[in-house]
Structure 1
Amino acid sequence: MTKVKKTLFVCTIIMSVLSCATKNNVKATESTTKLRFVDEYVLPDDLTFGETSIGGLSGIDYANGNWYAISDDSNSPRFYKASVSYNIEGFKSIEINSVIKFKDADGNLLPNGIVDPEAIRYDNETIVWTSEGNINDGLKPFVRIADTNGRFVNEMTLTNRYLPNTDPSLGPRHNGVFEGLALSLDKQGYWVAMELPLKEDGVETTLNVANSPVRIAFVNKETGRFEKEIVYELDKVARPAINGTTFELNGIVDLIEYDTNRFFVLERSYSMGYDDGGNTVKIYDIDASKATDVSSIKSLKGASYTKVTKKLLFNFENIRKELTNGIVDNMEGLTFGPDFNNGNRSLVVVADNNFSQYGPQLNQFILFEVEK
């Protein structure tokens, strides 16, 4: 296990930027939130539990003293319950306590290859989780409810725009669907974030283009239906792919609502060819209080709407030198943990190591203190 204890302070500048209320623009809000990097913890790459490999950790949540982490292994979709111990000085330990495999309504294990688990939240004795499906193979994504034993309880009703489409100009992009998931602050439902724009909404980001609006949808848990949708604009890809590679990508990987219409959004840019992992990861503080509900807009191309305001809260480049081998790995999940003794919130971010299929990666956990 690798353990690093540093106290690098990174804070946002308190600012208020005035802009005209023109198409797709809003007035930026003030923010005094600060994130202080506390520590890193890395689980061994060869760690196993219950005849499963610990890896692919794509989402994380904390509730009632328990930690939950979902694995994106499509051949054995599952989540883990864990104990994570830390204080204001850093991590003490992370231990896996149990593994729970997702099941159908009859209690049977899900067949191999039909889901791509991505996000997880605990909600009142149930587990809410998402799958990106497999758009290329026509397998639909979903937002699903399970009991704490992994057994199917319910599935949310998708708006048609999120289903695979035979028209190449419509629908979700492969591996770019329901990557982020948050409980709504009022407990009435869930916020689900696309990783990439729908094809009819905009293009994928590149080094030079950032006209990539991503939908974040509210799902009413009582009716099971998608309702309000807001728009988040992605950054450009952070750096070029190198060493003979060409793959570059940027998208939302998780979010959490911390106040009414206020979210932390985890955005990750990836470019191939780098020894440091190729990831440029940022946490944004976003304000959706003036964002337009675009649920009735079929295509965002050329449409008039107000997107959320985003403000950079933390750039992981500022702590790269403090992390194992200078690697900012494939960050995919974030959650608030128990408050520190000083009353400030803790925030934990986890990386999906892809089971090191594409080269050595890390089961990496990053701990922050949220200061006001």
Structure 2
Amino acid sequence: MFRLSSLIGCTVLFLISCGTSKKSFVMPSAENISAVKFLGEYDIPYNLLYKNTVVGGLSGIDYDKKNDCYYFICDDRSDNNPARFYKAKIFITPHGIDSAVFTDTRSLLQPDNTVYPNKKQDRLHVPDPEAIRYSPVLNQLIWSSEGERIVKEKDTILANPAVTSIGLDGSFKHSFELPANLTMHATENGPRQNGVLEGMSFANNYKTLFVNVEEPLYEDGPRADITENNAFIRILKFDVASRKNTAQYAYKLEPVAYPANPANAFKINGIPDILNIGTDKFLVIERSFSTGRAACTIRVFITDLHNATDIKNIASLKGNSSFVPATKKLLLNMDDLGIYIDNVEGVTFGPVLPNGHKTLVFVADNNFEKAEKAQLLLFEITE
């Protein structure tokens, strides 16, 4: 005769065995980071060829600790080769970076598993890859595209930004549901051109994803200038399981570091990447560039969202005093290193050094230009 007690016992045993079979993934952290020490630079050769692709435009980086490898996203808009990402080994010593070796590259694939077009093939569906992160929980990559906003009298192109999950072979898995305020418009509403989804970071042991816009939305106020002007960007929080936006937070940009030359020429300060370092805490990169200067000014801030207002339902931050922005504290100004720093666009935790200290690895995008550098920058963390 089948006994209820036997059923209960079997059920408990099944639940225990299921529970113990699940893998536990703990994200790296540096919640008490107090300083960083520059250990060295490695420059990836200009126009390096790997598997019939041109290596350059490296706009995002992430480290897979288990397999000791790095993922780079390339911001090639399928102009040189189809939009893609790279896998690489970076050989690190206590004194710096010895070398970097690329080990694989895969095309980013559309939902129908075809490669993305370039602007001559289909200008409405050209991607603009910017950030990449690896989830060991899903064994997948998530990447962001800035989309496009070109508004001319006889030529308007509107392509919405995107956050997409892919397999390690580049195959499409899912798209995240973006909020309405990230929709591109021909009017001055929503995101600015080339100022949208630049940075990205997992949090809460890969259950949460944070994504940031690089520059203020039109509704939220002006772009950063050389004087203080309350330039606020948004950091958006997503639930990874549902792929929905659950909260948004305001972050105040510093002024542009240097005037442009001539004064009315292009200048910018925005956020190319973020990195979670603990509960509600992030490293935020601010990248400032001004015409007339070859180098960028890269400032890294420790940012805390703990007491920041959820502004998801606040349509406009312009002239609005009803919200509390994230707090920020300067950790590093790369101008102080006394070396040339190019267009830094990505950051990740690296391996732990023999002395037990954690590391950070930054990557700079050379924009496929000979005059610019594809730099890897290594820092040792002090906690």
Query: Normalized against structure 1, the TM-score is what?
Result: 0.87
Q: Match of 1:161, SS?
A: helix
Does the 8 Å contact 1:59/1:333 carry over to 2? yes
- Given candidates 313, 322, 332, the residue that maps to 1:296 is 313
Secondary structure of the corresponding residue to residue 318 of structure 2: coil
Shift of 1:50: 1.1
SS in 2 for 1:200: helix
State the match for 1:361 in structure 2.
Answer: 372
Can you give the 5+ residue segments of structure 1 that lack an aligned partner in the other structure? Answer: 1-29, 322-326
Task: Note if contact 2:145-2:161 (Cα within 8 Å) is conserved in structure 1.
Answer: yes
Counterpart code for 2:163: V
Question: Which residue number in structure 2 is paired with residue 371 of structure 1?
Answer: 382
Q: 1:106 offset after TM fit, Å?
A: 3.0
2:94 to 78, 88, 92: 88
Structure 2 counterpart of 1:41: 42
The answer for the alignment partner of 1:317 in structure 2 is: 335
Q: Which residue of 2 aligns with 1:339?
A: 352
2:178 corresponds, among 135, 155, 158, to: 158
Equivalent residue number for residue 230 of structure 1:
249
Change (3 A) 1:32 1:59: closer
Paired residue secondary structure (1:281): strand
1:173 partnered with 2:192: yes
Change in 2 beyond 3 A, CA 1:188/1:31 = closer
Name 1:14's counterpart in structure 2.
none
- AA matched with 1:189: T
Partner of residue 129 from structure 1, selected from 143, 146, 166: 143
The alpha carbon displacement at 1:286 in A equals 0.8
Q: Distance in 2 between matches of 1:334 and 1:159?
A: 26
Q: CA deviation at 1:107?
A: 2.2
2:331 partner amino acid: L
Task: Give the 3-state SS of the residue equivalent to 2:106 in structure 1.
Answer: strand
Q: Return closer, same or farther for 1:242/1:224 CA change in 2, 3 Å cut-off.
A: same
Task: After superposition, give the CA deviation of every residue in 1:167-192 in whole Å (9 maximum; x if it has no partner).
Answer: 32x10000000000001133212100
Stretches of structure 2 that go unaligned for 5 or more consecutive residues are 1-30, 120-125, 151-156
Deviation at 1:245, TM superposition (A): 6.7
Instruction: Tell me the distance in 2 between the aligned counterparts of 1:331 and 1:306.
Output: 28
1:117 maps to which residue?
A: 129
Identity rate, percent = 36
Provide the residue aligned with 1:74 in structure 2.
77
> What code does the residue aligned with 1:43 have?
I
Q: 2:220 aligned with 1:217, yes or no?
A: no
> Structure 2 residue aligned with 1:266, among 266, 282, 285?
285
1-side partners of 2:220 and 2:263: how far apart?
Answer: 31
Cα shift readout 1:49-104 (whole Å, capped 9, x = no counterpart):
01111100000000121100000000121100000010221111101111111112
Equivalent pair of 2:129/2:145 in contact (CA under 8 Å): yes
CA distance in 2, matches of 1:119, 1:230: 19
- Secondary structure (helix, strand or coil) at the match of 1:354 reads coil
2:201 is equivalent to residue 182 of structure 1:
yes
Q: Which residue in the other structure is 1:139 paired with? A: 159
Greater alpha carbon shift after TM alignment, 249-258 vs 338-347? 338-347
What corresponds to 2:260 in structure 1? 241
How far is the alpha carbon of 1:108 from its aligned partner? 1.4
Q: Matches of 1:217 and 1:368 in 2, distance apart?
A: 27
Alignment length (residue pairs):
333
Deviates more, 1:310-319 or 1:218-227: 218-227
SS class of match (2:245)? strand
What's the secondary structure of 1:318's corresponding residue? helix
Give the C-alpha shift of residue 224 in structure 1.
1.2
Kindly state the Cα deviation for residue 211 of structure 1 after the two structures are TM-superposed.
Answer: 1.1
Structure 1 residue 244, shift from structure 2 partner: 7.5
Q: How does 1:44-59 map to 2 (within 5 A)?
A: 44-59=45-60
Question: Do the aligned residues in 2 keep the contact of 1:245 with 1:272 (CA within 8 Å)?
Answer: no
Of residues 299-308 and 125-134 in structure 1, the stretch that sits farther from structure 2 once superposed is: 299-308
Q: Which residue of 2 aligns with 1:285?
A: 302
CA distance in 2, matches of 1:246, 1:166: 24
3-state secondary structure, aligned to 1:191: strand
Provide the aligned C-alpha RMSD in A: 1.5
